[in-house]
Amino acid sequence: MIRFSTLLKRATAAIMLGSLVLLSGCHMFGGGTKEVTTASMKGQFDTTIQAYKEGQFLVDGAVLSAIDTGSHFSYLKDQGKLPKTILLTASDDSKIRKIHLQYMARMQLDYGFRVYYDDKGTLKEINPVDTKARILEDHHEKPPVSDSTPSPGGADNDHRPGSGT
């Protein structure tokens, strides 16, 4: 069995206690991660787009579907003007939904820019792996719902043009 001197034991205990105090001080007084507010960083992005209803985006004042937004960025890439950072914010008509984050994650993978979004005043970056990037889709209007419903099995259901009834 190895015997340690009391001086070595006390020095080791003092070093461990000092490092514990140092680490707790760093944690308590701002040594951890710092949250950045969106309001302070708005002008730092190359492009700002807004989330719109049903997975659409508001880009430079125009409402675009996800596939059209992807085409817009493809055009900018061809012109050599592709932005490096994009800020996604909520519009007046819609908040940022999961589908918006998934579409932006797909575009982030396709075009290589970085996308940040406003999460209740805090700026966060979209991680395409965690967000599960979604294939870009075109926006389709919902079919109109008729006010009157046909009665099932009624005599009026068999009226077709040219049927003679």
**53-94 pLDDT tens trace:** 888 888 888 888 888 888 888 898 898 888 888 888 888 877
| pLDDT over threshold 70, residue 152 | no
pLDDT at site 65: 86
pLDDT at site 24: 75
Bridge pairing between strands 47-51 and 62-64: unpaired
Q: What is the pLDDT of residues 85-131, one digit of tens each?
A: 888 888 887 788 888 888 888 888 888 888 888 877 778 888 877 77
Cα 136 to Cα 68: distance, rounded to the nearest angstrom: 9
Structure tokens at 113: 């820019």
Q: Please state, rounded to an integer, the average pLDDT across all residues of the chain.
A: 75
Cα 84 to Cα 40: distance, rounded to the nearest angstrom: 19
pLDDT at site 118: 80
Q: What is the pLDDT of residues 35-57, one digit of tens each?
A: 555 555 666 788 889 888 888 88
Strand partners, 37: 122
Share of the chain above pLDDT 90, in %: 0
Residue length, the chain?
Answer: 165
Give the number of other CB atoms < 10 A from CB of residue 65. 19
Judge contact between 82 and 115, C-beta under 8 A.
Answer: no
Cα 51 to Cα 91: distance, rounded to the nearest angstrom: 6
